[in-house]
Structure 1
Amino acid sequence: MTRAGLVDRAAAAARAVVWGPWGYGRSWLLDALAERVPGPVVRISGQPDGPYGAVAELLAGLAAAGLAPPAPTGPLRAVTDALVRRAAPPAGGWDPVAVRLALAAALKAAPGARILVDDAQRLHDADVGILAGVLSSVPARVTATEPRPGNALRLCGPRAARLLLPPLTVDDVAALLETHGLPAAWATRAHRACGGNPRLAVALAESLAAGAPGPARMPAPPSHALDAAADGLARLAADVRATLTAAALVRRPTAAVLHRAGYWDAAVHLEAAARAGVVAAEDDGTVRFTAGLFAAALVRDAGDTRPVHAALAGAVEDPVQAVRHRLLARDGFDAALAAEADRAAAVARSRGRREPAGELALLAARRTPPGEDGARRARLRAAAADAAAGGSAELARRVGAAVEAASAGRAERVAALLAAVDAGGQALHELDDVLAAATAAAGDDPVLAAAVQLRTAVRHNLGGDPGRARTAAARSVDLARRGGDRAGEATALTMLARMERITGDPAAARTLAAALALDVPVEAIGVQRCPQYLAARHAVFDDRLDEARDRLLALLPAAERRGDAEDLEEVLRSLAEVDVRRGACARALDWSDRAVGVCAAAGLSPGPAWYTAAVAQTAGGDLDRAADLARRAVRSSRREHDLVFLPRGLLALGSAHLMAGRAADAVTALREVAELETRQRVADPRVLRWRPELAEALTAAGATAEAESVLAALDPHPAVERAAALCAAARGRHDEAAVRLRAGAAGFTALGMPVEAGRTLLAAGRVERARRRRAAARAHFEHAADLFDTARARPWSRLAGALLDRPAASAGAALTETERRLAVLVAAGATNQEAAQRLFLSVKTVEGTLSRIYRKLDVRSRTELAGALGRDEAARA
């Protein structure tokens, strides 16, 4: 629910509990509510300064608004007047019965008042008891806020509406950045920094906007943003903050590790921080900071952290991390410790943990004695390679600073600069200055210059200029060959073959074969850049799906071993795409979910992963979810000027619209794909098969002549046959359409693409129905339904069932009442903890019940559950 929607819900509810962590806008919502609701409003805030302070504040507010007539003369009036004046209580304290009666009389005289209670968690127990008792017997409208439902729920009663303030999404943060004149491309990193906390997001945007103009890349969070995080942390006790400081310094902190380090109350302190929304517990027992700014502020304000690292060195279980803490616990040069760090970095690297390995290599370089310059340079180069492979722009920045401080050679300078480029995600247009510096640093060294030209080719490819990318790739080939760098030559030939394929040059096959003939191990150059991966992609383009899958599965272990997040995401995305086309839709959803997870964990540009998730959802999930993911992919690619994945995101969006029957929207998206490919001079129609989709959308939208022009001169393919058949049917040539659709279905079957074959059979059934051949139409629909059911292509199965006039089963019919209520809550976005509170169940019971619901409804995720229940049912939450 949007924040504006929450205000509407709160305004409409007689009693409402609004909850969310510090910074999520509880007070903001009350401000908005005070402006929105008609009639008088009285606002009170939690006051921890003694009993009946809140009651006195409420009585004073009612009196100031002219809503509470004086109480009758006598003891009750004396109590009221004394409370309003904040007089000292009598010797024996206030009489609670008198206070209750005074408040009840005042509220009964003000039936139209809206009472707003801010920070209900800070109310004195005496106030809560009096207020809850009185409010239960009068018709006052009450809205109360606190971090978690507790006192507010007591005040408002069990039937109150419960409104959870949502965190900001990445898109929300992007919009906020743009209002401050900042690049929306920073949104992903800014979102990780603020954790979706609105107050932190605003502080971060304001502090970034106030900074001096600089490069387009987002800098480290400025002090103003850290100050805002420190304000939020100040609500915690000092000993809790001390424990959290130690947690901020250790990777994957747990209460046990902190306890071994001497923080004896770690479990209690972490629970307090979780209640405040500063940390969250993971399933494996580790805790994570909800916002990176919280951890950064704790470390900034901690002073000398060497004693903490010394304690952690003896507390962590991982020997690699123990070395890291020993490095950070002392200053000065130490050759033995630096060598130990080298060994620990190698272990981390072998486990695929490239960013921790890079940090260890950097720390080892800093501990290297002055007489060992060769070792220091090697460690800096290793740190740069790890930063690039791990996609860590922050580590790349630190390596660059260390290289400058050490006055290292040009190989180290180039490695550090290219690490920044490789960690820059899809927005390489922002790194032209870094590429220029790398070119200058490489000088006349052919191997270094070849590496720079390779990144230049990638930059032009993402920027939508395959011609310049091809030229840079060819230069890289010549330079690597001249320098005798076989690995560099293989990667450059692979890039050149990729550009030749895009531009329609038949030399692409020969160039790729030459790259493969060099027989460079994948581990030496990475999956994305290796010719083996490009061979798999070419197999995808050419519909050699079994070959593509075999090649990708062979590359998957290498991607996992290397720990290069982009490599792993690439392989997972390609596997998802292949399994969508092979009709393994459930497996495709698994691959795409893993790719999205890798992207989020590593902080990679999200556009490619969202595009693939949209494709998988269109085939096997939910069409509305697919369209939403595709829109996100398009927005992300636009922000980052990524002209490789922008047309892909638009194609996914157009396909989702077309499948959902929104032909005009599909045409809009797919026409932009056509414009982009024309502008980029992409010549191979097999790389991105958008033309048949556009032709189908145009035909559905009534633009048959334009559809026919799109299909003209295309090479034969089952998708072309289907689109042409639909054009023929629109012209009334149903016999021709039927023949072409049978051919198209047979073609897809021969290629091993059952979902596309089923889609073609649906079209054939519609044509047969138009020819009044109902039995033939039904046979086509039934055949299609069988294909979709086998492939677990849920959106298509539902469509085939509708065409067969199958009654739609109610998803909730098989559920018990408790299961149905839980399913509705979860589908509406409630966490297990929130659902447990709403249904008065334990979290463990909720988890077990949710597992049964998933089995009954044959769904795998909360998103699929929402789709299975349907919008109307989910909206009841």
Structure 2
Amino acid sequence: MTIEPTTLATGTRPLAVERGTLRDTVRAHLSHGGGVLLTGPAGIGRTTVVSQLAADAGEYGHRVLRCAPSYAERDSPFLGLIDLLTGVADDTLTALAAHERAVLEQTLLRRCGPPAAAGHGPGDDTGVGAATEREALVLRIAVRKVLALLADAGPLLLVIDDAQWLDRPTAEVLNYCARRADPGVAVLAALRTELAPAPLAHRSDGCDSALGLCPPPVRRIAVPPMTAHELAELLERHDHPGWPRPLITRLHQISGGTPSTALELSSALDEHVRLGGAELPGPDDPLPVPDSLSRPVLDRLGALTASARHTLLMAGASGRPTVELLRRAGRPNAAADLDLCVRHGLIRALTESDNGAVRFLEPLTPMVLRAETPYEHLVEAHRALADACDDTVERAHHMARLTAGPDPAVATRLAAAASAARRRGAPGTAARLGRLAAEYTPAGQAYVDIDRRLTAAEDGIEAGDLDFARRLAHEVLGDAERPADRVRAWNVVIDSCGQAMAEIADVFPEAVRDAAGDPELLAQLHYRMSWRAWMVGGSAARAHGHAVRAAGLAARTGDRRTELMALTQQAALELFLGLPEAETTLTAALAAPHDVHAMTHHNGPVYLKYRFHLVRDELDEARAELRTLVYRLRQRGSADSLSQCLIGLAQVEIQRGRCRPALTIARQSLRIVEEAGLSQGPAWYALSLAETAGGSLRRALTAAETARRHSEDDDDRLFLPRALHAEGRIRLFVGQSARAVELLRRAGELETAQGQRDPATRRWHADLAEALAAAGAPDEAAAVIAVARRQAERLGRPGVLATLDRAKAAIDASRGELTLASRTLESAATRLRATGYPLEEARTRAALGRVRRLLQDETGARTSFASALRIFSKADARPWIALTRTERDRAQDAPAPPAEAGSWSDHLTSTERSVVARAAQGATNREIAAGLVVSVKTVEAALTRAYRKLGAKSRVEVARMVMTHPTA
């Protein structure tokens, strides 16, 4: 596999995951011809994606022809074709027959005379209709020939944006060309799908007609809405204010992820705040909607009856509207009203599978409707819904809308609803309701107010809304006096910083001071100081001391949750430090009584079990633990814990040789942290591993560099070595051994300084040794292996020992000890298969193929490469398939030294020997193929390789060698 140097340069800006993946998918499909149809509603970003793909294709050497028709041009015959072929020089047309060129030039308005007729009516008595049909056919043939001529000079991409407005004559010409397209011609078309556009759609389904523009194989791909993270990047690129994450989330929800809508909403909000002098809207305050967005909605609302509009208002005011709920809330004709709303394009059609649920087509609709409704009508709607709904959480929401000022009854009801939401596994809803409960708490209940705010902040942590949690915690620190309240608030501040614990160095002394010697509070702080000592201080030994102290204090004061979390941290550190008591400590953390929070947390004992399975090479057991935990976290759990578990699951799937699922899981993890505003370094690291295994080395490198930057920005010494390792491996794989050594050496130094004594916890040793051997430092490589081998043998880590042997073979090969290297690699591959690491086994077999090539063992090399390819293909390890094929082909095509007397057959495979023997006897290629039951192409390829290996230039020379040494 080749990667351009510019691609591997550091400092590249990472692509947003979803759109970057979309572009890669389209590029991969079009690389071999065929067509792609991109679909999506107006404003979703189809044109932007098409423009980026067209620019990329131009950079990769494609000739790009593009047209972008508009609504006003849909009835102008051949205008699309004129735009498409504008860049085609007249010289290209000289290769056409005279009549073909004349018709094409007239159609393109490059010659005087009428354009070719586009009609399809039957001919008349004068034969004009038949002539018209002949001209139309000549035009199609001429266009197809022009495209073929362009494709002969290099790959050709036709880009048709807004295909719904393409004029019919052009569409028919392109349909003809698509059915007969040459291999070098690819087509990228884009279609607005919410319309039934003319003229394409008047014949059949618009999408089917647009698909006809594309040569086979055709793939239809819907352009997805932007994620919240992508939307934030879009606003930043357009110089919009850096809105807080909750506001970004609301902009994303209201816009439906449509870029153009989000930009307009953000502009209106900026004008409202900056020019209007207003404060940022709260989570329940309406956002300003510009006329350009509200007017189309108001036009549709204006066509409704008063009854239907009132019913729609109540549906928008409800959290989960259904037909039955609206009936109970005093809308007996709800079904008929909603049918009218469906006909006017405001809500989706009601189906039995939805159980009567009402779903708005555009998130803007309920917001615009609410803004246009008098306040007293809104109050009435919430009152009716509060009486009608039987859900505790939703009823509390409506009650809050009806109350102005503190109200103890409403506050109590809201706090109960927050508890219900928490039990359901909806921490985000619990946080919002808890904050409302605090707002409605009377001034005389200060302790209750503080407790409710802190509980809401802790729910915010679980939901991943870290800004919200921090804000509430700092509010409490300004009001609270009791040590327990203050330390609880400090804990929220610490927990909300994610991987960036270096930013809160001044928090710990203040928190310890506020704890006032209370052992229960100190236990909580020592647990967090353990994390800081490891992540920021870079010392696992000091971190272990804090964890042990935290567990002891928590056990003494009966704080089981802190005790379990501290024991888990203690066990993790003992594993990293290679201490024998690690298993015993984990067993204590898993013992009853359990704590639900600890058992589902990514820093809890159940999660740690999978890491113990990993170091013991128990991959299936590790996967089972993580899958169970991920399932529970999807039902109820924090975004941070779910993301971390997905990161672990992606790594396990890679090790098990399931590359495609690993890519999907890693991307899910990154999406979660982006949308939740969590630290992104670990997720980018996981994505780098997944891309290295089954995606693209270019994307893998970008992800690794991004992971490294995030970890360096956060001063996260726990994940920084992993990011360095990921980047170093990629550099090693593409042959940049000096840069790989630099990165891997730094990773090893950081891990060793932290106290790593179990090489199975961070498996960088073999990669560093291989890089050193490739860079000409075999002695240093041997020293790295020696240290790691002693640790692995002491702890019993067979998987690590096998990879260390592969690295040792690299050292042996660099010293010229090829036979020893070959034996070592064969043994290592066998042991890696036994321990269940298919990708590592395949990587080892590929290395064996390279060594056998150096030994001039062509048959053995091809066998090794074939074995590696079989494993990589089964795993769908795309980068490795490409790398191994390159190595295999290099082995087959490499010229061999001229044959010595009596040794010609030693250099040939059995097939090549048989072919050469028959050729020397005067048999033709066809006769040889028939005799050996192979194809003629196989015979030709075998002879070509044999000529090269034997240093022969003709059959005469080959025959002379065979006749001179017939027993060879």
Structure 1 length-normalised TM: 0.61
- The equivalent residue for 1:875 is none
Letter in 1 for 2:689: V
1:486 has 2:560 as partner: yes
Cα 1:342–1:170 shift into 2, 3 Å:
closer
1:539-550 paired onto structure 2 within 5 Å = 539-550=613-624
| Aligned counterpart in structure 2 of residue 628 of structure 1, from 702, 727, 730 | 702
Aligned residues: 684
Any conservation in 1 of the 2:529–2:543 contact (CA below 8 Å)? yes
Any conservation in 2 of the 1:255–1:266 contact (CA below 8 Å)? no
Letter in 2 for 1:415: R
- Residue 646 of structure 1 and its aligned partner are, at CA, apart by 2.6
3-state secondary structure, aligned to 2:602: coil
- The equivalent residue for 1:364 is 437
Any conservation in 2 of the 1:577–1:615 contact (CA below 8 Å)? yes
Deviations 1:44-78 (A, max 9, x none): xx9xxxxxxxxxxxxxxxxxxxxxxxxxxxxxxxx
3-state secondary structure, aligned to 2:670: helix
| CA distance in 1 between partners of 2:589 and 2:664 (Å) | 32
Any conservation in 1 of the 2:229–2:674 contact (CA below 8 Å)? no
Letter in 2 for 1:383: A
Deviations 1:128-157 (A, max 9, x none): x9xx9xxxxxxxxxxxxx999999999xxx
| Aligned counterpart in structure 2 of residue 459 of structure 1, from 524, 532, 536 | 532
Letter in 1 for 2:867: H
Cα 1:727–1:327 shift into 2, 3 Å:
same
3-state secondary structure, aligned to 2:684: helix
1:741 has 2:825 as partner: yes
| Aligned counterpart in structure 2 of residue 347 of structure 1, from 406, 420, 426 | 420
Cα 1:416–1:229 shift into 2, 3 Å:
farther
Any conservation in 2 of the 1:167–1:196 contact (CA below 8 Å)? yes
Letter in 1 for 2:687: A
1:55-134 paired onto structure 2 within 5 Å = none
User: What percentage of residue pairs aligned between the two structures are identical?
Assistant: 33
Cα 1:206–1:419 shift into 2, 3 Å:
farther
Deviations 1:451-490 (A, max 9, x none): 1232233234332523553443344234323423232122
| Aligned counterpart in structure 1 of residue 491 of structure 2, from 406, 418, 442 | 418
Any conservation in 2 of the 1:584–1:791 contact (CA below 8 Å)? yes
1:392 has 2:465 as partner: yes
Any conservation in 1 of the 2:386–2:399 contact (CA below 8 Å)? yes
- The equivalent residue for 2:27 is none
| Aligned counterpart in structure 2 of residue 655 of structure 1, from 710, 713, 729 | 729
Any conservation in 2 of the 1:396–1:419 contact (CA below 8 Å)? yes
Cα 1:419–1:786 shift into 2, 3 Å:
same
Any conservation in 1 of the 2:44–2:224 contact (CA below 8 Å)? no
Cα 1:773–1:25 shift into 2, 3 Å:
closer
3-state secondary structure, aligned to 1:539: helix
1:792 has 2:865 as partner: no
Any conservation in 2 of the 1:498–1:508 contact (CA below 8 Å)? yes
3-state secondary structure, aligned to 2:788: coil
| CA distance in 2 between partners of 1:250 and 1:667 (Å) | 60
- The equivalent residue for 1:33 is none
Any conservation in 2 of the 1:361–1:383 contact (CA below 8 Å)? yes
1:772-851 paired onto structure 2 within 5 Å = 772-801=856-885
1:645 has 2:729 as partner: no
- The equivalent residue for 2:844 is 760
Any conservation in 2 of the 1:627–1:656 contact (CA below 8 Å)? yes
| CA distance in 2 between partners of 1:303 and 1:701 (Å) | 75
Cα 1:300–1:616 shift into 2, 3 Å:
farther
1:202-213 paired onto structure 2 within 5 Å = none
| CA distance in 2 between partners of 1:524 and 1:784 (Å) | 42
- Residue 182 of structure 1 and its aligned partner are, at CA, apart by 11
- Residue 720 of structure 1 and its aligned partner are, at CA, apart by 1.0
- Residue 550 of structure 1 and its aligned partner are, at CA, apart by 3.7
- The equivalent residue for 1:750 is 834
| Aligned counterpart in structure 1 of residue 503 of structure 2, from 421, 424, 430 | 430
| CA distance in 1 between partners of 2:340 and 2:720 (Å) | 46
Residue range with higher mean Cα deviation, 774-783 or 172-181: 172-181
Structure 2 length-normalised TM: 0.56
Letter in 1 for 2:811: C
| CA distance in 2 between partners of 1:666 and 1:175 (Å) | 34
Letter in 2 for 1:754: P
Any conservation in 2 of the 1:611–1:629 contact (CA below 8 Å)? yes
Letter in 2 for 1:775: T
Cα 1:253–1:693 shift into 2, 3 Å:
farther
- The equivalent residue for 2:648 is 574
- Residue 586 of structure 1 and its aligned partner are, at CA, apart by 3.8
Cα 1:472–1:586 shift into 2, 3 Å:
same
Any conservation in 2 of the 1:391–1:424 contact (CA below 8 Å)? no
Any conservation in 1 of the 2:245–2:677 contact (CA below 8 Å)? no
Letter in 1 for 2:550: S
Letter in 1 for 2:461: A
Cα 1:733–1:452 shift into 2, 3 Å:
same
- Residue 735 of structure 1 and its aligned partner are, at CA, apart by 0.7
| CA distance in 2 between partners of 1:804 and 1:620 (Å) | 19
- The equivalent residue for 1:697 is 771
Deviations 1:759-786 (A, max 9, x none): 1111112211221112222222232233
| Aligned counterpart in structure 1 of residue 687 of structure 2, from 613, 616, 624 | 613
Letter in 1 for 2:868: A
- Residue 333 of structure 1 and its aligned partner are, at CA, apart by 5.2
Largest Rg, 1 or 2: 2
Any conservation in 2 of the 1:171–1:187 contact (CA below 8 Å)? no
- Residue 757 of structure 1 and its aligned partner are, at CA, apart by 0.8
Letter in 2 for 1:766: R
- The equivalent residue for 2:609 is 535
- The equivalent residue for 1:51 is none
Letter in 1 for 2:676: A
Deviations 1:181-225 (A, max 9, x none): 9999x89996886779699889989999xx99xxxxxx97899x9
- Residue 397 of structure 1 and its aligned partner are, at CA, apart by 4.3
Tell me which of the two structures has the higher relative contact order, counting C-alpha pairs closer than 8 angstroms and 6 or more residues apart.
Answer: 2
| CA distance in 1 between partners of 2:531 and 2:501 (Å) | 8
Letter in 2 for 1:445: D
Cα 1:676–1:152 shift into 2, 3 Å:
farther
Report the aligned-residue RMSD.
Answer: 6.0
| CA distance in 1 between partners of 2:836 and 2:611 (Å) | 17
- The equivalent residue for 1:447 is 520
Cα 1:174–1:332 shift into 2, 3 Å:
closer
Any conservation in 1 of the 2:415–2:434 contact (CA below 8 Å)? yes
3-state secondary structure, aligned to 2:856: coil
Cα 1:339–1:507 shift into 2, 3 Å:
same
Name structure 1 gaps, 5 residues minimum: 6-18, 31-45, 47-119, 121-128, 133-145, 213-218, 275-281, 807-877
Cα 1:168–1:488 shift into 2, 3 Å:
closer
| CA distance in 2 between partners of 1:446 and 1:232 (Å) | 61
- The equivalent residue for 1:769 is 853
1:565 has 2:611 as partner: no
Any conservation in 1 of the 2:412–2:437 contact (CA below 8 Å)? yes
Cα 1:400–1:536 shift into 2, 3 Å:
same
| CA distance in 2 between partners of 1:434 and 1:328 (Å) | 38
Any conservation in 2 of the 1:391–1:422 contact (CA below 8 Å)? no
Any conservation in 1 of the 2:567–2:589 contact (CA below 8 Å)? yes
| CA distance in 2 between partners of 1:327 and 1:222 (Å) | 15
Deviations 1:712-751 (A, max 9, x none): 4221511111111112112221111111111211221221
Cα 1:663–1:265 shift into 2, 3 Å:
farther
